[in-house]
Copies of this chain bind each other. A is one copy, B any other.
């Protein structure tokens, strides 16, 4: 449900006129994410005035929902003290993300303005790399000892309910805080008040190690259909929990990242400035451009061949184009397959060889068809059909094989498989395609 334009207009008007009660009335039954969307429509100055009207509770929830640019702008306009109050009120994972985005100096000042517990809480989260389980977990959770009774745990939940959102599970730990069990909330409801956790807990709970890559964490969530998972250190000590809403964001981010890598693009390019947009795209294109120059020089070397039969030039785009299409299909299949877990690189060789066969079928089909067409276009030179037919078959089969094998190889080497759709690889394949084409031509035609 996007922002109603009428609401956005009203809000801007109320802010200009300083009608505070009208504003409060307008926001009355809105959720934080909806208020955040409204704020995105305001100009910079109005945003500052507006934020001053929100209570700390609402402000902290709204700020977590803002886009990164708007958030930066709003945060810049706040005093260190106000910001510290708001951050104290946020979930620790969001708080750590926000503090992590501040300039180092400001982060120091804001942390200093916070309560010692809250600031050390956030500092302890900041030491984990952003894209690991530690970087996305929050400290807010309900934990209990094996000897705690249902009644005791319920009163603990009552105390913590304003701090911990979405309680779904109680984590049972021993005296060194090692995770030893989990109790879903529904079991708590269905058990007698004096039952101990040890009697109702799952004694073999799933957990993720704090250093695990976030993409792997997401795969575990998906596989086991979990909505929250505890995070533990090497010794099994409970450090925090990860909730499904963060996992959903990660799944989306990773898909976006893969798509953009495949095309050499970057997030947010459409909304950024023309200059930034152009300058971000220049490097990838530069590699293509240099590759293109090489292809040009290569073709120049075959100029004697070309001047004898200028018609050969006419088939270059189709030969390179068909190879390029097959390659990008194959690379996309493998990259996405790796991300969703469909492709395992254990059967590396078998998959690549199978795709080579597919490439020969595709290339053979289109090669024969192109050969026939070429005969009609250049009836005076029968062999030109054989040359272009062989060339297109070669370029398509090679593309299917390389487009499958290279991303798997990159992945096995611990690199990003999407590199295989990058300018180096595509240029290399174009070069091979052109060389083979003219080599076949030289051998068969003259």
Chain A residues within CB distance 8 Å of chain B: 1-2, 29, 31, 33, 154, 157-158, 161, 166-168, 185-186, 188-190, 204, 220-225, 227, 244-245, 247-249, 251-252, 255-256, 258-260, 262-265, 268-271, 274-275, 277-278, 281-282, 284-285, 288-289, 291-293, 295-297, 299-300, 303, 306-307, 310-311, 313-318, 320-322, 324-326, 328-337, 340, 342-344, 351, 354-355, 357-358, 361-362, 365-366, 369-370, 373, 377, 404, 423, 430, 434
Contact = CB atoms under 8 A, between A and B. Distances in A.
Given A168-B168, A220-B1, A321-B430, A297 B340 contact: no
10 contacts: A154-B189, A189-B189, A247-B248, A248-B248, A260-B336, A281-B358, A285-B325, A289-B322, A296-B318, A300-B311
A296 B314 contact: yes
A210 to B, nearest CB: 17
A260 to B, nearest CB: 6
B265 A332 contact: yes
Nearest to A154: B189
Give how many copies assemble into the complex: 2
A366 B224 CA distance: 50
Contacts of A423: 325
Contacts of A295: 314, 317-318, 321
A90 B310 CA distance: 68
A133 to B, nearest CB: 15
A289 B351 contact: no
Contacts of A256: 255, 336, 340
Contacts of A337: 270
Contact of A259 (B259, B307, B366): B259
A261 to B, nearest CB: 10
A221 to B, nearest CB: 7
A300 B404 CA distance: 34
Q: Is the interface of A mostly helix, strand, loop or mixed?
A: helix
A317 B373 CA distance: 22
A317 B317 contact: yes
A197 to B, nearest CB: 15
Nearest to A255: B255
Contacts of A434: 317
A320 B404 CA distance: 24
A166 B244 CA distance: 14
Contacts of A330: 265
A405 to B, nearest CB: 12
B340 A317 contact: no
Nearest to A36: B223
Contact of A310 (B259, B310, B322, B324): B310
Contacts of A430: 317, 321
Contacts of A331: 263
Given A256-B336, A289-B369, A292-B321, A278 B362 contact: yes
B325 A264 contact: yes
A332 B260 contact: yes
Contacts of A321: 288, 291-292, 295, 320, 430
B358 A278 contact: yes
Contacts of A189: 154, 157, 185, 188-189
A245 B29 CA distance: 28
A330 to B, nearest CB: 8
A190 B157 contact: yes
